[in-house]
Amino acid sequence: MIERRDFSSWISGLPTEPGHYPGRALGLPRSGPGSIARPGRRVIALCVDWAACLLISTAFFHGDSLVTLGIFAVEQILLVGTVGYGLGHRLMGLKVMRLGGGAAGFSAAVLRTVLLCFVIPAVVFDVDQRGLHDKAAKTVLVRM
């Protein structure tokens, strides 16, 4: 017979040591500027970016979903690659940085965006709340 304790290693979530918080292992503060961006801010930022891209797509391309995705990708690559944040990130006070500090850069922005467009890498994340797209690009989304 299978009991609940047989599944407790994965049902209870990822193991963490006492005092753990997202970003601790990366040397980031618990809260405030430079701390890991929490999921609520991330989702709102994504919705802002998607809405802006959808408006452009609707105005010029009849709302074609692939065109909307393409506009989103271009926006993310250009803005994250140059200034470190997309429109939604900026409105929510977030920025994308390389691990250890510094700007994400164009190559990291391309890799991060391509994976972000596949969706799944963005919703699979670790104990530091970094999605697979950020892990692959060696970036982290932090509060400004």
All structural domains of the chain with their residue ranges: 29-143
Contact 39, 129 (CB under 8 A): yes
Q: Map tokens 């292992």 to a residue.
A: 25
* Among the listed residues 130, 137, 136, the one whose alpha carbon sits nearest the alpha carbon of residue 28: 130
List beta partners, residue 97.
103, 140
- The pLDDT assigned to 100 comes to 85
The yes-or-no verdict on residue 65 having pLDDT over 80 is yes
Mean predicted confidence (pLDDT) in 97-107 = 93
Name the strand (E) or helix (H) holding 94: strand 94-98
Based on the number of CB atoms within 10 Å of its own CB, is 134 exposed (0-12), middle (13-18) or buried (19 or more)? buried
Give pLDDT tens digits for 17-35: 778 899 999 999 999 999 9
**pLDDT for residue 45:** 97
pLDDT higher than threshold 70 for residue 2: no
Q: Residue 65, exposed/middle/buried by CB under 10 A (0-12, 13-18, 19+)?
A: exposed
pLDDT at 105 over 80: yes
Average the pLDDT over 101-125 and give the result: 92
> SS3 for 78?
helix
Instruction: Tell me what pLDDT residue 14 has.
Output: 58
Q: For the residues 49-55, what does the mean pLDDT come to? A: 97
Give the SS3 label for residue 104.
Answer: coil
